[in-house]
Structure 1
Amino acid sequence: MSFNSLGLSDALLKAINKKGYDKPSPIQEKAIPPILEGKDVLASAQTGTGKTAGFTLPLLQILSEGTIKRQRPVRALILTPTRELAAQIFENVKEYSEFLDIRSAVIFGGVNQRPQVAQLRRGVDVLVATPGRLLDLCNQNVLSLSNVEIFVLDEADRMLDMGFVRDIERIIKLIPKKRQNLMFSATFSKDIKRLATGILTHPVSVEATPENTTVEVIKQKVFRVAKAKKTGLIIKMISEGNWQQVLVFTRTKHGANNLTKKMISAGITAAAIHGNKSQGARTKALAGFKDGSIRVMVATDIAARGLDIPLLPHVINFEIPNIPEDYVHRIGRTGRAGASGIAISLVSADETSFLTDIQKLIGMKIPVEIIEGFEPDPNASTEPVKQGGGRRAPRGGGNNNSGRKSTKSSNTSNSGRRSRDRRN
């Protein structure tokens, strides 16, 4: 199938051709036709499958075929959980709308709001936003959502993880009841389906891959290692392998900072990216990682969500996540758009149960190796760690920085995280 057969306009086909794409990805094939028909869509697609174009292209076509109002009120709202993902989607909207009379803007926290306000006042057709800054500007009467025709909720599963349910509910009340709704998520969990029920009307469900599966082209490997030897092992791998672009995941911001310092001390250019970093520092780190001046980027789950890094060859889980779905999101940073990639996990004794949960989710045993000199500690406890680095609280209790919670708990315990998102 070609893009021509999807019913897209010549202006969009010209923009697609300029980006070098010749045929749609599976999620684009499945999602674009029903969206163009004006239907609500609930789509499940793993990262790197082209899902952003899957909703951006038909959205732009629908808007371009409508009446452009002189005041340019917001007609399409794309809501996303992180600044990096918002910036990435905005760039895609700009590229695909190059030959259309469509204005777009992006708003998120962590930067001065005045330039964003000025752009909104000049008129915007498509607005990409994170929840915190969006609600702030609405509360200041700077922004009205009363003319929204299309509402897109991207990375819905991460929205739930980050405790944005109440913010989403507030935003829904600010947009017209009569609208087209598009929800994209990596998984169709019970919480996602519950959220969809309150937003979508008779949706068409589409899936690019079987639920909760990993990208097949990614080569996965586990190295069993003593916790105290992890830093030495990862430095050895990157140095001796001469790896030039490596994304490393830690559970905590503190852990990301410490590992980054040790990498730099070992002569490896590295930068940390997490929620405590300013937007300027995060943007600079990502730019350096993309242009090769920074070899290693150490990130937490939330900060890395939505990063657009083409052809990333290596992902390393310095600490594997205690939420198995997060493992899928992490390794999905590599192996994008059909390219090959390697995902390595350094697993200590206290992460054994996490590994078991991950293998159960993906339906396969990941090959295990042990490197001489970096053997696991035979006397170490296998009691699972909790998010903060100590022992994990019993299931259903405790708190962590990126763990998946029920919708109810997300509404309460994550309120602090939402307020931080607005400031940062």
Structure 2
Amino acid sequence: MSFTSFNFESSLQEGLDAMGFDRPTPIQEKAIPVILEGKDLIACAQTGTGKTAAFVLPILNKISKAGTNTLNTLILAPTRELAIQIDQQIQGFSYFLGVSSVPIYGGGDGIVWEQQKKALETGAEIVVATPGRLIALLAGGKIDLTTLEHLILDEADRMMDMGFSDDILKIVNYLPQDRQTILFSATMPPKIRQFSMKILRNPEEISIAIGKTAEGVTQSMYSVFDGQKEALVRHILSRKAYEAVIIFASTKDKVKALYKVLRKQFEIEAFHSDLEQVEREKIMSDFKNKKVKILIGTDIISRGIDVVGIELVINFDTPSDPEDYVHRVGRTARADKEGEAITFVNPKDQHKFVRIEKLIGMQVTQNPLPEDFERGPEYSGDKAKPSGGQQAGSKPKSKNKKKKKPGQRPAAEGGQKPTGEGQPQQGNSRQKHRPKKPQTPKTDAPQSESSAPASAEKPSKFGQRKNVIES
């Protein structure tokens, strides 16, 4: 199937041809016809599957066909990074359309606040907003939403996790009841379905590879003590001249500490919520343009960053929630590219990794530590208990125990290949284990989207696109 099968307006198809878009991804192939028909939709697709284009393209086609220049579509996103990314993709797709869009998010100064308020009052066909900032603007401005025809919630599960459900319902109260509502989510827990019943009407449902990682990503793990992690990450980064690497740590304090260690040897930047918005945008721009080779951050960048060509993802800390693992790993092997994902698992986090393997449906290959490293902890697999195992950073007990040579656990049938450092060693079979319900991961709390904004860069003009926030 090709994009020409959707019979898009010629100006939109011309833009797709110019960008080299030929064949739709599975989520695009299934979602675009439903959206074009005007039906409400719940779509579940993992990160990196092209879901943004799946809802942006049919909406742009509708706006182009109608020929109106009033507010038509509201897109809600959990973070400012994702809001900016969606707006940028709209700019690209609408190059020949002359459709206007504006991103609405917190973190700028008072001038940006007034620009965003004016843009909403004056009108733009598409508004991409974070919930907190939009509510603040709605409460303080004369904004007419009566012409709105489409509401899109992107990464709805993330917005639920961040506590935006009440804010979304408040926003919905401002919107016309006669509208098309589209909800995209990487996962589909019961709370999302319950929430969708409040704002959608008889929706169609689409699910694409829930909880699965991309086929092009090679996954492996190291069983380590915390004291071995810094040396190991330096060893991995020194293996080759990587062009794009993301390292995930569990807290912003760990991000800052690891950044201080690695910056002495590598081109690296730290990305966390303590940075001003202008700093975050510059770092992200430099990373996309390969001026910065390595980016280290928390789960704040596990969603909402669309950079093709990321070669390696390192989980410096094992994610607490298995679904966060899928999002982290999803930063690589995007757009049919290949990539590598490596996870460091300390003794206290072994039970978390067991849950991850059960979610992704495969046994991840264990790499042996480099020869000059002290022996790491034994990985107990299904036998791992949340309260069991040695404490991270402790030395392995040697009393009355014979040392075993470190080896790899074999990948499950149909699993991923090892990274190449050593060959897998046959291990014991896993015992069946019913994991406890995953705990909500502790990540950086986002900066208040309704806070008075520090600065923001003006978006570029694209063709006939009306730039509504430039003074």
If the length of structure 1 is used for normalisation, what is the TM-score? Answer: 0.88
The question of whether the paired residues in 1 share the 8 Å contact of 2:9 and 2:64 is answered with no
- 1:16-35 → structure 2 map (5 Å cutoff): 16-35=16-35
Query: 1:124 is matched with which residue?
Result: 124
The question of whether the paired residues in 1 share the 8 Å contact of 2:313 and 2:341 is answered with yes
Shift of 1:67: 5.2
Q: Tell me how far apart the structure 2 counterparts of residues 351 and 137 of structure 1 sit (CA, whole Å).
A: 43
1:54 pairs with 2:54:
yes
- 1:171-250 → structure 2 map (5 Å cutoff): 171-209=171-209, 211-250=210-249
Number of aligned residue pairs:
399
Q: 1:305 aligns with which of 298, 303, 306?
A: 303
Instruction: For residue 448 of structure 2, give the secondary structure of its aligned residue in structure 1.
Output: helix
Unmatched tracts of structure 2, length 5 or more: 394-435, 454-471
1:8 pairs with 2:8:
yes
Q: 1:251 and 1:33, CA in 2 relative to 1: closer, same or farther beyond 3 A?
A: same
**Aligned amino acid, residue 28 of structure 2:** Q
The question of whether the paired residues in 2 share the 8 Å contact of 1:157 and 1:185 is answered with yes
**Aligned amino acid, residue 277 of structure 1:** L
Shift of 1:291: 2.1
Instruction: For residue 257 of structure 1, give the secondary structure of its aligned residue in structure 2.
Output: helix
Shift of 1:397: 11
Greater mean deviation of Cα atoms: 15-24 or 297-306: 297-306
Q: 1:374 and 1:269, CA in 2 relative to 1: closer, same or farther beyond 3 A?
A: farther
Q: 2:346 aligns with which of 332, 342, 348?
A: 348
Q: 1:135 and 1:249, CA in 2 relative to 1: closer, same or farther beyond 3 A?
A: same
Q: 1:264 and 1:66, CA in 2 relative to 1: closer, same or farther beyond 3 A?
A: same
Q: 1:330 and 1:109, CA in 2 relative to 1: closer, same or farther beyond 3 A?
A: same
Query: 1:315 is matched with which residue?
Result: 313
Query: 2:285 is matched with which residue?
Result: 287
The question of whether the paired residues in 2 share the 8 Å contact of 1:164 and 1:418 is answered with no
**Aligned amino acid, residue 321 of structure 1:** P
Q: 1:197 and 1:121, CA in 2 relative to 1: closer, same or farther beyond 3 A?
A: closer
User: Runs of at least 4 residues of structure 1 off by over 4 A?
Assistant: 377-385, 395-400
Query: 2:463 is matched with which residue?
Result: none
Q: 1:354 and 1:98, CA in 2 relative to 1: closer, same or farther beyond 3 A?
A: same
Shift of 1:349: 0.7
Bigger share in helix: 1
Q: 1:401 aligns with which of 413, 428, 442?
A: 442
Query: 1:109 is matched with which residue?
Result: 106
Query: 2:266 is matched with which residue?
Result: 268
The question of whether the paired residues in 2 share the 8 Å contact of 1:349 and 1:382 is answered with no
Query: 1:92 is matched with which residue?
Result: 89
**Aligned amino acid, residue 442 of structure 2:** N
Query: 1:411 is matched with which residue?
Result: none
Unmatched tracts of structure 1, length 5 or more: 404-416
Write the deviation string for residues 308-327 of structure 1: whole angstroms up to 9, x where unpaired. 11121100000011100100
Shift of 1:255: 0.9
Instruction: For residue 317 of structure 2, give the secondary structure of its aligned residue in structure 1.
Output: coil
Instruction: For residue 42 of structure 2, give the secondary structure of its aligned residue in structure 1.
Output: strand
Shift of 1:152: 0.3
The structure with more radius of gyration = 2
The question of whether the paired residues in 2 share the 8 Å contact of 1:314 and 1:342 is answered with yes
Q: Tell me how far apart the structure 1 counterparts of residues 350 and 379 of structure 2 sit (CA, whole Å).
A: 14
**Aligned amino acid, residue 295 of structure 1:** K
Q: Tell me how far apart the structure 2 counterparts of residues 345 and 325 of structure 1 sit (CA, whole Å).
A: 14
Q: 1:119 and 1:299, CA in 2 relative to 1: closer, same or farther beyond 3 A?
A: same
Instruction: For residue 23 of structure 1, give the secondary structure of its aligned residue in structure 2.
Output: coil
1:420 pairs with 2:448:
yes
Q: 2:331 aligns with which of 330, 333, 341?
A: 333
Query: 2:72 is matched with which residue?
Result: 75
Shift of 1:348: 0.8
Query: 1:408 is matched with which residue?
Result: none
Q: Tell me how far apart the structure 2 counterparts of residues 39 and 304 of structure 1 sit (CA, whole Å).
A: 30
Q: Tell me how far apart the structure 1 counterparts of residues 163 and 437 of structure 2 sit (CA, whole Å).
A: 16
Determine what percentage of the aligned residue pairs are the same residue: 37
Q: Tell me how far apart the structure 1 counterparts of residues 185 and 23 of structure 2 sit (CA, whole Å).
A: 23
Shift of 1:34: 1.0
Shift of 1:126: 0.5
Query: 1:152 is matched with which residue?
Result: 152
Shift of 1:377: 4.4
- CA-atom RMSD in angstroms: 2.4
**Aligned amino acid, residue 144 of structure 2:** S
Write the deviation string for residues 94-139 of structure 1: whole angstroms up to 9, x where unpaired. 1212222421111101113123233334421100011111111111
Query: 2:360 is matched with which residue?
Result: 362
Instruction: For residue 263 of structure 2, give the secondary structure of its aligned residue in structure 1.
Output: helix
